[in-house]
Amino acid sequence: MSTMIDILSEPAILVALIALIGLIAQKKGLADTVKGTTKTFVGFLVIAAGAGILSGSLTPFGAMFEEAFNVSGVVPNNEAVVALALTEYGTTTALIMFFGMIVNILIARFTRYKYIFLTGHHTLYLACMLAVIMAVAGFDTFGLIAAGSVALGIVMTLSPAILQPFMRQLTGNDNVALGHFSAVGYAASGLVGKLFKGSKETSTENIKFPNGLGFLRDSTVSIALTMVVMYLIVAFFAGPTFIEAELSGGTNFLVFSLIQAGTFAAGVYVILSGVRLVLAEIVPAFKGISTKLVPNAKPALDVPIIFTYAPNAVLIGFFASFIGGIASMVIMIFLGGVIILPGVVPHFFTGAAAGVFGNATGGFKGSVAGSFVNGIIISFLPVFLMPVLGDLGFANTTFSDADFGVSGIFFGSLANYAGPIAITVSLAVIILLMIIPGKKKNSNRSEETKVG
């Protein structure tokens, strides 16, 4: 069982296997098959390495922020809450994950929702949350796994589906989808962006710098310099005593902050390099699956795949989302009750993506406003999610991204107030609605044929 969890939760292995199957289905030669599979595998490892670099540089920033401004509360973090839950729900999580992926493929095969979710670690996290909720609902073991698997397959399909109109606008085609469980926040950002009627002239990527500041057009340089300013400001407020004793291992607090800021920029650069490598291989390879196994299927890939479309919006979105998190925290302090602290890592990844989508629909203003709204969404949803998680809701952390909150609150509320029968009926109704052909089914398929 642990081996299955390890395999299915590793995006590099999972997507490499998908690429291998796709290339074999296309009857590619041995050389092309080995090349495409290997480059996909390595590309995802490059992305994971970049994400690790980013997370490593952001963790001390979060600690510095809490010390600098003397705040305490619940920090949403998917990895932390899943680590706690797996100790009790590890077996059921693995089974829900496995059968949930099968449900996702079946939905893609037999309905108009042609999205195959390939972000393994997010699938694991949601499977874990659903295992907890279904246990709280009172399902027996078989019912828990069955209901959790169907619920997981549904969310794996609908999450990229609601975001695909914005993906088409962003990428200019319909070849790839986004598989990241914060689609509600991203779609909200895209909708907010539309209020500003953006265009290429107002894009974050067309910011005009004075001639003397032309070096800021290089995204690596602008990201590094901006993060240096942020780190140094927070470092001064946190103070050298705390940083050198708790974080830097005695290294001067300014030097430590400078290195962390540069490391952040390096992580972004590594991620963008990995994204280019993966997209060059996975989309052509996936045509084998979409042609042979699931006609017109689209791969739903992890969030960094969109960062290359607007690198400036990535940084702007992070800042705006984080500010939204701070504003939400202040509101919670005045309201009393649970205080959700702005987690730097979720605000970076979801805020960055929200910034890209907001920019696609509303230019610079859309990027800022959309990401700010995303920051509010991922701050308040965890407040309402915690009560439905049973004993896990008393932990000092919770799930962070928007889709976890929406799906968790929906199924958790049914579990707490109506029980297994209501969940079963709800799942059956949702599946039935997905099976019913849409009014624009034929036009959608013709469009997919043109761009695919």
Write down the pTM of the prediction.
Answer: 0.78
Contact 438, 112 (CB under 8 A): yes
Contact 256, 248 (CB under 8 A): yes
300 has which bridge partners?
A: 117, 177
Secondary structure class of 117 (helix, strand, coil): strand
**DSSP H or E segment with residue 88:** helix 78-110
Q: What is the pLDDT of residue 207?
A: 77
Residue 439 burial class via C-beta count within 10 angstroms: exposed 0-12, middle 13-18, buried 19 and up: exposed
Return all residues near 132 (Cβ < 8 A) that are at least 6 apart. 85, 89, 389, 390, 392
Residue 234: alpha-carbon gap to chain centroid: 26
Secondary structure class of 310 (helix, strand, coil): coil
Q: What is the pLDDT of residue 43?
A: 82
Return all residues near 320 (Cβ < 8 A) that are at least 6 apart. 351, 354, 355, 367, 368, 369, 370, 371, 372, 375
Residue type, 288: G
Q: HSE on the CB side for 112, CA within 13 Å?
A: 17
Mean pLDDT by 10 residues, the chain (452 residues): 64 77 82 88 81 78 80 74 77 83 91 89 88 87 92 96 95 91 96 81 77 62 79 88 88 91 85 74 68 82 89 90 93 85 84 94 94 96 85 69 94 84 92 80 40 32
Contact 351, 320 (CB under 8 A): yes
Determine how many CB atoms are found less than 10 A away from the CB of residue 448: 18
How far apart (Å, rounded) are the C-alpha atoms in residues 203 and 30? Answer: 43
Return all residues near 420 (Cβ < 8 A) that are at least 6 apart. 137, 138, 139, 143, 147
How far apart (Å, rounded) are the C-alpha atoms in residues 100 and 9? Answer: 13
CA distances from 241 to 301, 327, 358 (A): 43, 28, 40
Return all residues near 426 (Cβ < 8 A) that are at least 6 apart. 411, 414
How far apart (Å, rounded) are the C-alpha atoms in residues 148 and 156? Answer: 12
Lateral strand order in the sheet of 298-301: 115-117, 298-301, 177-178
- In the chain, what is the straight-line distance between the N-terminal and C-terminal CA atoms, in Å? 37
State residue 60 phi and psi, 5-degree precision. Answer: -65, -30
Determine how many CB atoms are found less than 10 A away from the CB of residue 200: 8
Largest CA distance in the chain: 68
State pLDDT tens for residues 190-205.
999 999 876 556 888 8
Strand blocks (E) in 163-224: 177-178
Q: What is the pLDDT of residue 150?
A: 96
Q: What is the pLDDT of residue 218?
A: 65
State residue 428 phi and psi, 5-degree precision. Answer: -65, -40
State residue 117 phi and psi, 5-degree precision. Answer: -80, 120
How far apart (Å, rounded) are the C-alpha atoms in residues 169 and 156? Answer: 21
Strand blocks (E) in 170-230: 177-178
State pLDDT tens for residues 30-76.
888 898 889 888 887 887 788 778 778 777 887 888 788 777 677 78
